[in-house]
Structure 1
Amino acid sequence: MAENRVLWAKKVPQVYKKLDEVDQLLAEHLDITVLELIKLRSSVLNGCAYCVDLHTRRALKEGESQQRLFLVPTWYEAGEIFTPRERAALALTDEMTEMGEHGVSDETYDEAAEHFDETELAALMSAIAMINLYNRLAVTGRLHVKKR
């Protein structure tokens, strides 16, 4: 198993900088809570320990509760722990992250569209796509979580 993989952000820092700029622009359109929840959920689905650690820490720093963070992997069974808006965002995250041959269902898309205006929905979809990109780069590069 090769452990000396390319750290993409160090080899193409200009790309990392541009992606970070896009991330910052998207954050202007979405609540930080929703943003960190979808980033955490996608990272869990993609098996990206580095990003799970990063977004858990960021969410805690922003005031998110441990209970809600612990329940992100099973959000669909957590009842009213998550708001309808958050549940719609998490459902869209699940379908965009695990995109099967039929893509995102009309039901899931329509539910998200009920809770987010068009600009927010566009930002949400873009943020989900971005975290999937980051997850794939981190997993492929085998970024490891540092023990604290």
Structure 2
Amino acid sequence: MTLEPRIRNSAALLPDAAKGINLLYKAAHSAGVPGSTLELVHLRASQINGCSACVDSGARSARKNGETEERLFAVAAWRETPYFTEAERAALALAEAATRLADRADAVPDEIWNEAARHFGEKELAALVLWIATTNFFNRINATTRQPAPQNWG
């Protein structure tokens, strides 16, 4: 079953929104968190939310920026693979908790936060939280409006 998009490109329909989105992107990517970590966090949150457009674009962007196929294929099972650093694992755990807020009474337990804080400074943590929230923002827009992954990549 193929679902048709309900509307096309929300950002194009609301150009002022694109300006704000670009500022969020710039802020999250300028705080010193490695770009590869931000790519992994984006991909994992998008997988959880079932956002095909973001999973597709996130994996392609990560690959274009040097990420290996091995690591991309393993993001969904990051706990069971040896491919990720301790800092990346902490960021992925934070992304999962912040994406699944309703899954537990203490949405982001101290154990998860403290592990992330072992690897990232306060500014970097702020950037990670902002990037996770921004990813979830995109996932919700795309899922609600049924934005598909592109079918014709050249």
User: Which category of TM-score, normalised to the shorter sequence, fits these structures?
Assistant: over 0.9
Measured after TM superposition, the shift of residue 108 of structure 1 is 0.1
Partner of 1:126: 130
Q: Which moved more, 1:63-72 or 1:7-16?
A: 7-16
TM-score (normalizing by structure 1): 0.94
Identity of aligned residues (%): 40
Number of residue pairs aligned between Structure 1 and Structure 2: 147
Match of 2:142 in 1: 138
- 2:118, 2:3 → 1: CA distance? 46
What TM-score do the two structures reach when normalised by structure 2?
A: 0.90
Residue equivalent to 2:38: 35
Structure 1 counterpart SS, 2:147: coil
Alignment of 1:1-148 (within 5 A): 3=4, 5-7=6-8, 8-29=10-31, 30-78=33-81, 80-100=82-102, 101-147=105-151, 148=153
Moved more, 36-45 or 25-34: 25-34
Q: 1:13 to 1:77 in 2, by over 3 A?
A: same
In terms of mean alpha carbon deviation, does 124-133 or 20-29 score higher? 20-29
Runs of 4+ in 1 over 6 A off after TM superposition: none
Higher mean displacement: 120-129 or 94-103: 94-103
Structure 2 spans left out of the alignment, 5+ residues: none
Q: How far apart in 1 are the matches of 2:17 and 2:100? A: 25
